[in-house]
Homo-oligomer: A and B are copies of this chain.
Amino acid sequence: MTSPRARRSPRRTEALSRERIVEAAVGLLDAAGEGGLTFRALTERLATGPGAIYWHVANKGELLGAATEAVVAAAVATGPQRTGRAGGTEGAEGAEESGGAAEAAREGIRCVALGLFDAIEEHPWLAPQLAGQLSRNPGGPVAPRIFENIGRQVRALGVPGDSWFTATSALVHYVLGAAGQNAANTASGRALGPDADRAGFLDAVSTAWEGLDAEDYPFTRAVADQVREHDDREQFLAGIDLVLAGITALHLPAGRPGGSPEA
Contact = CB atoms under 8 A, between A and B. Distances in A.
The A interface, classified by DSSP as helix, strand, loop or mixed, is helix
A148 B249 contact: no
A260 to B, nearest CB: 9
Contacts of A246: 241-247, 249
Interface of A: 127-128, 130-136, 138-139, 144, 147-148, 151-152, 155, 161-162, 164-170, 172-178, 180-181, 183-185, 187-188, 191, 201, 204-205, 208-209, 211-212, 216-220, 222-223, 226-227, 230, 235, 238-239, 241-250
B131 A132 contact: yes
B132 A132 contact: yes
Nearest to A177: B177
Contacts of A155: 219
A138 B201 contact: yes
Given A244-B246, A246-B242, A246-B246, A219 B164 contact: yes
Contacts of A135: 181, 184-185, 188, 205
7 contacts: A131-B181, A151-B220, A167-B242, A176-B177, A241-B246, A246-B246, A246-B249
